Amino acid sequence: MEQYINAMRRGDRAAAFGHYADDIVGHVPGRSPLAGDLYGKPAVVGYIETAVAQAPDGVEVEVVDMLASEERVVLIVRERLHDGDRVLDMCRANVYRVEGDRIVEISIFEADQYAVDEFLSGGPP
């Protein structure tokens, strides 16, 4: 997970995605067009790339805290997405289920789901 976190921090998503299992499952909350359950590495990577594309002026990621057990890692993160005058400040918990050296499941929990849905739907926060 440290390698995954470091890759994400430096914006090397390709390296980070290398830690995903081919049959990874993602759970994206909310009512935006991107919400739902995602099956397989292409679907999960596609979601992340589409979400990042909503912030053409940059994404900042700060890991606030990490909780870990044998099977799960929870990252409390603060992310800031920039799109011109639109800026989304979000706090979220990403819950990763790990098997061996691969991430097999990711569940996202947003602190302000309404703001995230609005931003990902193209509206203002």
Domain count, the chain: 1
- Domain hosting 87: range is 2-120
- Is position 58 within any domain? yes
Q: Per residue of the chain (125 residues), what is the pLDDT tens digit?
A: 889 988 888 889 999 999 999 999 999 999 988 999 999 999 999 999 998 898 899 888 889 999 999 999 999 999 999 998 889 999 999 999 999 999 999 999 999 999 999 988 877 66
CB 96 within 8 A of CB 115: no
- Is position 21 within any domain? yes
pLDDT tens for 20-46 read 999 999 999 999 889 999 999 999 999
CB 125 within 8 A of CB 118: yes
| pLDDT value of residue 8 | 84
CATH number of the domain that residue 60 is part of: 3.10.450.50
CB burial readout 81-97, b (16+ within 10 A) else e: bebeebbbebebbbebb
- Is position 125 within any domain? no
| pLDDT value of residue 59 | 86
Q: 10 Å Cβ neighbour count for 71?
A: 11
| pLDDT value of residue 125 | 65
